[in-house]
Structures are given as C-alpha cells and as structure tokens.
Structure 1
Amino acid sequence: MEPVTLIPNNSLLTATPEEGRQLAIKMARLIIKTTQPDAQVRETLRGVYASDAMMLIAIGQTVATEFSTIAAANNYWHDVRP
C-alpha cells in the first residue's frame, strides 16, 4: 500500500474559508481512502451510503469536524469579515 498524505502540503492554512471547506472535504476523503485502501471496495460501498441518510449525515459531520479544525488553525481567517 502506498502512503497517503493526510494533510495536503502539510498545512492547514488556507487563504479563504472556501479553500478551507475544500480542504476539509479533501481530508475527509483521504481518511476514507486510508481506512479502506481498496478502490474497488470503496466503489462498491458508494452505492450503500449514497442511499442511506444516516451515513450521509455522518459524512457531513466528518467534513464539519475537519473544517472546524482548519478554521481554528486559520484564526477563523484572522477575524476578517467581508
């Protein structure tokens, strides 16, 4: 199994909240890839969770947790509000 980089570019710092949200999604996907390294198994499982509301909610919660970590690392984008 090839190593997976769980934090792309080894940094949680992003320029904007949108970039932070994209990073959170990428990190959530990477943890799934690490947990289930077999691509064929992951592909098969997509059909299972795609029609299970509770699993989809769990995915959303995982992304939200990652985003919370990223936001904190970015000082909530240095408290700059548009």
Structure 2
Amino acid sequence: MNHFTFSGKSVPVANYVACRHTPARTHLTGFDTLAEARQYITRQEINRAATSRLTLAIVQMDNDQVVHYQRWSRPRPMARLLSFFL
C-alpha cells in the first residue's frame, strides 16, 4: 500500500479505490489489488437492479494521484444479441 504525508503523518493510500456513486452520495472503498476491487464491484453489480441510478467505478491510485479511472458498465442484452449476429 502506498503512503502520503498529511499533517506531518504518513497515511496509507489504497492502490485501487472502488467507487459507488448515487445521486445522494459517493461511497469509496480502498483495496490493495485490482482483483479485490473487481470482486467488490461485482457484488455491487448484483445488487444494482434495485437502484438503476447507481454508477460503479474503479480508480487506480499511485501515491495520492489518480492514474486510471474505469467506469463499470453492464453489458446490455440487446447489444449482446446484435454482436452475436455480426
């Protein structure tokens, strides 16, 4: 896990942050590995049916800098059907 200095103290920074955005709030959860973050997002995706206005993402961190942001999108059934015929 990376660290950065905040108010003279060394603070751990997660390598990957899973983001769960709703219109009311944003919930962030830190993970050491991408596999752990993906597993968390997958569990959130299963519960997503109840909340259609939920956005899921994984942020890759390097120290206290954002390196990569990937928004999680669910494959649409019609798109899968069309790709089958193409």
Question: Fold match, TM over 0.5?
Answer: no
Give the TM-score normalised by structure 1: 0.29
Counting helix residues as a fraction of each chain, which structure ranks higher?
Answer: 1
Structure with more of its chain in strand, by fraction: 2
Structure 2 length-normalised TM: 0.28
